[in-house]
Chain A
Amino acid sequence: QTVVTQEPSFSVSPGGAVTLTCGLSSGSVSTSYYPSWYQQTPGQAPRTLIYNTNIRSSGVPDRFSGSILGNKAALTITGAQADDESDYYCVLYMGSGIWVFGGGTKLTVL
């Protein structure tokens, strides 16, 4: 059973930068997994931030960027703002019509 790994929590100072990662329990994440990133605040539906590794969804500020760093997918947030405090999830397409979400990262801005 493949597990998609994310940092459980992270903190960033207002105005600072942070990189969240999305890895595999076995193997490396590549663009072939079409990594996507979603932001979710309590009680709300997920919001699509990044798809296909590095393409920003409509309306997402360019403070959010996606990439492959080493053997993981990465979401970098620059110029962190208070309303960036959210849960962030990645999802990977495993092939054969199967997707797997990471466990999510709770980002605190303080």
Chain B
Amino acid sequence: EVQLVESGGGLVQPGESLRLSCAASDFTFSNYWMSWVRQTPGKGLEWVANVKQDGSEKYYVDSVKGRFTISRDNAKNSLYLQMNSLRAEDTAVYYCARVDGASLGGLSHWYFDLWGRGTLVTVSS
């Protein structure tokens, strides 16, 4: 079955670190950009980071730059998010998402076409 399964969430104190993992199954993982997206009741959905197929390009939302690192291991069909210096506002459900694209009229359109079920990260003292 084509799926993404996240793990690694939990309860941590402010300032601590956590590493999230996402295992991909039944598709050619190395063909896709991958993302982390988080969701909170108050702020809704927020894109966190993207990584290119070969890991050579990475992009982050400003609020996590310098604290979070996205990476991937194509040999293990896995995506990671290293989260350091965690803050209370990082509390959310973190989703791993596959980025697919389509070319229309010469323009590239991107979208999240496959999502994991998410892992909850709670940052609280």
Q: Do A and B come from one complex?
A: no
Binding site for B on A (CB under 8 A): none
Binding site for A on B (CB under 8 A): none
